[in-house]
Amino acid sequence: MLSLILAAALTSAPVSTEITLAAKPAPLHGTLLAPENASAVAVILPGSGPTDRDGNSPMGVRGATYRLLAEGLAEQGIATVRIDKRGIAQSAAAGGDEAALRFTDYSTDARAWAAEAATRAGQPCAWLIGHSEGALVALKAVEGGDDKVCGLILLSGAGRPAGVVLREQLESGLPEPLKTQAFAALSELEAGRTVADTPPALAALFRPSVQPYLISWLPLDPAALIAAYDGPVFIGQGTTDIQVTTTDANALAAADPKATLKLWDGVNHLLKTAPADRAANMATYANPDLPLAPGAVEDVAGFIKAHPRR
């Protein structure tokens, strides 16, 4: 009897497969986690910076949010492909010259990953699950429509242009005169002009090689993009998120009245239970053993299951 139980458990366990996607100048890499008889498949699009397919970053983020989300969705019968975006982790070689990178490179990759995920999972289309900046990537990816995308799951995503959100974040994080200099640089970049001189303290944000990317990113309006999309959309946002607030989630929902909005009480940017206190909230970023907040996976899975391919 025990051997039968173990055999059944092994048979039903999701299968993890390393996959590649053809791209220039080098292939992109990801992980397909597929439960038996999956009812749907989704691509998890990472947030900003050097965030890898598991949701971790060398900048002190080890919460493994994307791995935990993939595992949770697999238990709900939903396959996922979580990816290293170009320039990051195993997809580092695909990054090429940073000065040549544009925001549309990520959205083009997202469409390609959706088609690849659908093919590998034997589904007619794939959902795009965008987290943080990945939510904007997902919105840009479906601009004009894409029949290989079933719909969008937007988690902890901005609902206002990036410049507005960045100013809010820098307002409390930078002293003068750096704040004034940062705001001036943002204004120039929003106008499509590069900035020649920036203080060394702001080099990580405004280094010359990243400015063309910022110029391609800053004009994008998430509310306008979601308003133009006619597919199913789920918006998930935690109330103790210290990076993106419920103001953004509400802005997205207002722009698309058909979307489903879920506010998770006491949940932070990494979809984990956390207090509003900044230090305690940030402590969760380095804890891969802390599970995702109750209800987060279930709400996402429930929405996907409630919207089968039309």
Q: Decide if pLDDT at 264 tops 60.
A: yes
At 11 the pLDDT is 53
Q: Decide if pLDDT at 1 tops 70.
A: no
Residue 81: beta bridge partners?
32, 43
Give the residue carrying structure tokens 């691509």: 43
Mean pLDDT of all residues in 251-265: 98
Mean pLDDT of all residues in 272-291: 96
Mean pLDDT of all residues in 72-78: 98
For the chain, what is the mean pLDDT?
94
Question: What stretch of H or E contains 70?
Answer: helix 65-75
178 vs 2, more confident: 178
pLDDT tier at 6, thresholds 50, 70, 90? very low
Cα separation, 234 vs 144, in Å, equals: 19
Helices 162-173/178-190 angle, 10° precision: 170
How far, CA to CA in Å, does 221 sit from each of 72, 75, 94, 159, 289?
31, 35, 27, 8, 35
Structure tokens of 300? 């996402």
β pairing state of 260-264 and 15-21? unpaired
Residue 84: beta bridge partners?
29
Residue 263: beta bridge partners?
237
Question: What stretch of H or E contains 235?
Answer: strand 233-238
pLDDT tier at 3, thresholds 50, 70, 90? low
Contact 241, 269 (CB under 8 A): yes
Report domain extents, the chain: 11-160+221-306, 162-219
Query: pLDDT tens, 137-155?
Result: 999 999 998 789 999 999 9
Mean pLDDT of all residues in 160-189: 92
Contact 72, 297 (CB under 8 A): yes
Q: Decide if pLDDT at 260 tops 90.
A: yes
Q: Is 11-160+221-306 a CATH 3.40.50.1820 domain? A: yes
At 285 the pLDDT is 97
Mean pLDDT of all residues in 277-305: 97
How far, CA to CA in Å, does 200 sit from each of 15, 68, 203, 287, 307?
47, 37, 5, 31, 49
Cα separation, 100 vs 269, in Å, equals: 29
Task: Name the percent of the chain lying above pLDDT 90.
Answer: 89
Query: pLDDT tens, 25-65?
Result: 999 999 999 999 999 999 999 999 999 999 999 999 999 99
Query: pLDDT tens, 79-94?
Result: 999 999 999 999 999 9
Contact 190, 218 (CB under 8 A): yes
Mean pLDDT of all residues in 244-253: 97
To 5 degrees, how large is the angle CA 165–CA 175–CA 132? 25
Cα separation, 165 vs 224, in Å, equals: 16
Mean pLDDT of all residues in 63-73: 98
